A and B are shown apart, each in its own frame.
Chain A
Amino acid sequence: MAGGVVEKPAAHDKPRKHYLNHVKTFGSWLVTLDHKRIAMMYLCAVSFALLLGGVFALALRTVLWNGTPADPETSILGATMEQFYNKMFTLHGAVMVFLFIIPGIPAALGNFILPMQLGAKDLALPRINLLSWYLYVMGLVLFVCVLVLGGLDTGWTLYPPYSMGGGSQSQHVWHSLVLAYMAVFILGFSSILTGLNFIVTMHKLRPPGMGMYDMPLFLWALYATSLIQVLATPVVGITLGLSLIEHMFHVGIFLPQYGGDPVMYQHFFWFYSHPAVYIMILPAMGVQSEIMGTFSRKHIFGYKAIAWSSIAIAAIGFIVWGHHMFVSGQSPTAGIIFSFLTYLVAIPSAIKVFNWVATMYKGSIDLKTPMIYGLNFIYLFGIGGLTGLFLASISNNVHLHDTYFVIAHFHMVMVGSTVNAFLGGVHLWWPKMTGRMYNETLGRIGAILVFVGFNLAFMPQFVSGTRGMPRRYANYLEEFTTFHQASTVGAYILGAGIGLQVLYLLYSLFKGKKAPDNPWGAASLEWQSESPPDFHNFTKPPIMMGAYDYENWEYESEEAGWKLKPEVIETRKTLSKVH
């Protein structure tokens, strides 16, 4: 895709060689070890997954426009309305979780930015990075096969006994499940390898003179994410491996009729999948920290608190999985302990929100597109986080379990926060990655559409949830009609906002203004490279300075962007490692 970026040479000099055009063959992309190219391929793939998952979401919201169809035999694509709905919510969840949101920020944005923020030439293990990309592609292809075979209707959690029911399922669903287990297993290893590579890179390629506390907070967030990826993902790997064996040979690990224990599956699954929601949110918090500092033009407030709160969230995240199982037959004592531990997550999360707001205080706020996403994030994460406390309380949870309240809470955090941060991060780094500026006005309109659509889609669900609307039902009582129809309208507005972005971002690749090296006045090292960066990332060694020392930059013009002040260039030392 990015091959479309062609430099228009000025009359007097040749087009500059950079990572996108230094070799142009298709094959050079397939076997590239360059973190920037792998990141761009990831960005295309996860964006595709986002759109695919989005189409499923719109399909299921469309079914829900009219919850009591006049003719129950209405068929869509050869299935009844109910069957179609079950497949749509399953595929929406599975595609969004496994293909978009887990790899989204780390593998696409992190892959590109992490080595550059360290002033390094690549990730420490480039071959592992390429392997991780191809594992992702295999997972993606397997998921597409699942779609072609007719899809799944088990819910993305793949709970037994329904999911491994063998004889009770149609042949199509049986085959789809085999592929789905393999897909998630393989995607897990892709995720593990990305995390492993990031940790090694941050330890071993951090230049002398840059301590852990000198890293941008995005890297701290990625570090915390990577810890979870390496330590939690293998558990879901073995779980799905066992599920596959159970599904095919009925060995009796999870299926009760063969002596297995289905609740053990839930324990195993959530031992990964709860930390996994922190794999989803932590990198988003990292992007958020970068956006807040840059567009408030103020040193990030409470650096160490934000850094350590990322690690704290990762650590606490490992001991709260039982809150998904309050009504699954877990012992009451375990329930109380998990409930208490779940409250603890609120502390580091609130520390972060406090620090972002404090960063804006008396800052010089510039409402560029990424900053609008940043504000969306704070608002929606605030609601998502606080409603999480409602659900952590065990007595409330029994009432709200499996209702739309949970759906709304989860989407506030995952879409309201992570997707907003992903989009904000894409806009923040788009000039660096592609060398082109997007249309700022359209960018702002898109961000506002996302905000309005999202709120309209999910705010009503909090209310219908508290009134007892259960999730995963294709039909509903008449009293819920208004809430559902508002949600459906909101979902389409959200879809329009994202569709608009796809259009203007693609347009900018061909017709966008040439991006300056530093269009925002951001201070981390990647902004000292050219836009788009050279194959070796930096053509001249970057000058070492704090990641939030915005006073070192001064605005020159729209074309030239921000430049380092001359006295900074004279007095500071360059990164001796980059030649």
Chain B
Amino acid sequence: MSTGVADHETKHDLPARPPELAMHFDNMHQQFHSGKLGMWLFLGQELLFFCGLFTAYAVYRGNHQEMFHYVHYFLDWKLGAVNTVVLLVSSLTAAWSVRAAMLEQRKVLIFTLLATFICAGIFMVVKYFEYTHKLHIGAVWGGGFNVADADLPAELVAKYPDMTGAKLKEMGAGSFFAIYFCMTGLHGLHVLVGMGLYIWLLVRALKGDFNRRWYGAVDNVALYWHIVDIIWIFLFPMLYLIG
């Protein structure tokens, strides 16, 4: 025991416990850092969760190098780039919201939380258009891949004029789209969860729940949001930019 009896006595004389402090913690510092360590560990498990998909990507790309090259033309790098910028902006506003909560800047906090939410929404809208287009032309997973020659991406046809949908199917293009839909789908689910969390934070911020003593929720959700962002930073070049 490093803390002596004297420390023990003085602890009793400390001011009353803040209302945000849970029964089993000694002080706000301990409570804040417990939540934060918990979130970091959660992010660690998130990485491992995505790891399976990254491994599957590596295996299939290694086995089908040419096919990956041809099929990546189905993905529109401009839309991917727009989404990357949107997510990067949202990460900035997420980080800003933590600072605003720390400094008790209520208006800035509400604005940045809202901005993060809207960016996430834009991301999902763009993703929606990408998905529906692929489903429409039959660029899907497994044995379901059936793209008419007329629907092949212009860039692909320009470079490889004799390419046909049947050839791509033969090469196993279904595997690319299995990986594509699983990876971006799981990432999209995480974005949706993040949107839910930002609505929750907005409601709490409007109620004035956060102050300089207690802003752990804003901090932890922002950490979560950053990992969602980082995963996209990897997905974008791995799927869209492999030409």
List A residues at the B interface (Cβ < 8 Å): 115, 120-126, 128, 192, 196-197, 199-201, 203-205, 208-209, 230-235, 237-239, 241-242, 245, 249-253, 257-261, 264, 267-268, 536, 544, 573-577, 579
- Given A259-B178, A261-B59, A573-B1, are A230 and B41 also a contact pair (CB < 8 Å)? yes
Cβ–Cβ contact A209 & B1, under 8 A? yes
Which chain B residues border A233 with CB–CB below 8 Å? Answer: 45
Minimum Cβ distance to chain A for residue B82 (Å)? 27
Cβ–Cβ contact A252 & B34, under 8 A? no
The docked-state distance in angstroms from the alpha carbon of A202 to that of B186 is: 32
Identify the stretch in B4-12, B71-79, B99-107, B122-130 within 8 Å (CB) of chain A at 4 or more residues.
Answer: B4-12
Which chain A residues border B7 with CB–CB below 8 Å? Answer: 576
In chain B between 1 and 29, which residues have their CB closer than 8 angstroms to a CB of chain A?
A: 1-5, 7-8, 11-12, 22-26
- Given A196-B42, A209-B3, A259-B174, are A264 and B56 also a contact pair (CB < 8 Å)? yes
Q: Which residue of chain A lies nearest to B59 when distances are taken between CB atoms in the complex?
A: A264
Minimum Cβ distance to chain B for residue A52 (Å)? 29
Cβ–Cβ contact A251 & B3, under 8 A? no
Identify the stretch in B47-55, B85-93, B194-202 within 8 Å (CB) of chain A at 4 or more residues.
Answer: B47-55
Of B26, B30, B174, B186, the residue contacting A252 (CB under 8 A) is B174
Which chain A residues border B174 with CB–CB below 8 Å? Answer: 251-252, 258-259
A-B contact pairs, 17 of them (CB 8 A): A122-B24, A125-B34, A126-B24, A199-B41, A200-B34, A203-B37, A208-B2, A208-B3, A234-B49, A234-B51, A234-B52, A238-B50, A252-B143, A252-B174, A253-B178, A260-B175, A268-B52
Of B37, B48, B52, B178, the residue contacting A251 (CB under 8 A) is B178
Which chain A residues border B181 with CB–CB below 8 Å? Answer: 251
Cβ–Cβ contact A235 & B48, under 8 A? yes
The docked-state distance in angstroms from the alpha carbon of A192 to that of B42 is: 8
Cβ–Cβ contact A251 & B142, under 8 A? yes
Minimum Cβ distance to chain A for residue B28 (Å)? 12
Cβ–Cβ contact B38 & A253, under 8 A? no
- Given A125-B35, A199-B41, are A245 and B182 also a contact pair (CB < 8 Å)? yes
Which chain B residues border A574 with CB–CB below 8 Å? Answer: 8
- Given A238-B52, A573-B5, are A230 and B45 also a contact pair (CB < 8 Å)? yes
- Given A196-B42, A251-B182, A259-B174, are A232 and B56 also a contact pair (CB < 8 Å)? no
Task: Tell yes or no: B215 within 8 A of A by CB.
Answer: no
Cβ-closest 7 pairs across A and B: A252-B142, A238-B52, A209-B1, A234-B49, A576-B8, A121-B24, A258-B142
- Given A230-B44, A252-B174, A258-B142, are A121 and B23 also a contact pair (CB < 8 Å)? yes
- Given A122-B24, A209-B2, A576-B7, are A199 and B48 also a contact pair (CB < 8 Å)? no
List B residues at the A interface (Cβ < 8 Å): 1-5, 7-8, 11-12, 22-26, 30, 33-35, 37-38, 41-42, 44-46, 48-53, 55-56, 59-60, 141-144, 172, 174-175, 178-179, 181-182, 186
Cβ–Cβ contact B143 & A239, under 8 A? no
Cβ–Cβ contact A259 & B172, under 8 A? yes
Minimum Cβ distance to chain A for residue B135 (Å)? 12
Cβ–Cβ contact A237 & B49, under 8 A? yes
Which chain A residues border B56 with CB–CB below 8 Å? Answer: 242, 253, 264
Which chain B residues border A200 with CB–CB below 8 Å? Answer: 34, 37-38, 41
Minimum Cβ distance to chain B for residue A305 (Å)? 26
Cβ–Cβ contact B143 & A258, under 8 A? yes
Residue picked from B2, B45, B46, most chain A C-beta under 10 Å:
B45
Cβ–Cβ contact A122 & B34, under 8 A? no
Minimum Cβ distance to chain A for residue B2 (Å)? 5
Additional A-B contact list (20), CB under 8 Å, known A126-B22, A264-B59, A268-B52: A122-B24, A124-B38, A125-B34, A199-B41, A200-B37, A230-B45, A231-B44, A235-B48, A235-B51, A235-B52, A250-B143, A251-B142, A252-B142, A253-B179, A259-B174, A259-B175, A260-B175, A260-B178, A576-B11, A577-B26
Cβ–Cβ contact B59 & A234, under 8 A? no
Cβ–Cβ contact B38 & A197, under 8 A? yes
Q: Which residue of chain A lies nearest to B177 when distances are taken between CB atoms in the complex?
A: A251
Of A192, A242, A544, the residue contacting B1 (CB under 8 A) is A544
Of A123, A199, A238, the residue contacting B53 (CB under 8 A) is A238
Which chain B residues border A544 with CB–CB below 8 Å? Answer: 1
Cβ–Cβ contact A251 & B46, under 8 A? no
The docked-state distance in angstroms from the alpha carbon of A203 to that of B143 is: 50
Which chain B residues border A575 with CB–CB below 8 Å? Answer: 1
Which chain A residues border B55 with CB–CB below 8 Å? Answer: 264, 267-268
Minimum Cβ distance to chain B for residue A182 (Å)? 15
Cβ–Cβ contact A251 & B45, under 8 A? no
Of A249, A264, A267, the residue contacting B141 (CB under 8 A) is A249
Of A199, A250, A536, the residue contacting B37 (CB under 8 A) is A199
Of A120, A192, A204, A268, the residue contacting B45 (CB under 8 A) is A192
- Given A252-B142, A259-B178, A576-B11, are A208 and B1 also a contact pair (CB < 8 Å)? yes
Which chain A residues border B178 with CB–CB below 8 Å? Answer: 251-253, 258-260
Which chain B residues border A205 with CB–CB below 8 Å? Answer: 24-25, 30, 34
Cβ–Cβ contact A249 & B142, under 8 A? yes
The docked-state distance in angstroms from the alpha carbon of A196 to that of B45 is: 9
The docked-state distance in angstroms from the alpha carbon of A46 to that of B68 is: 47
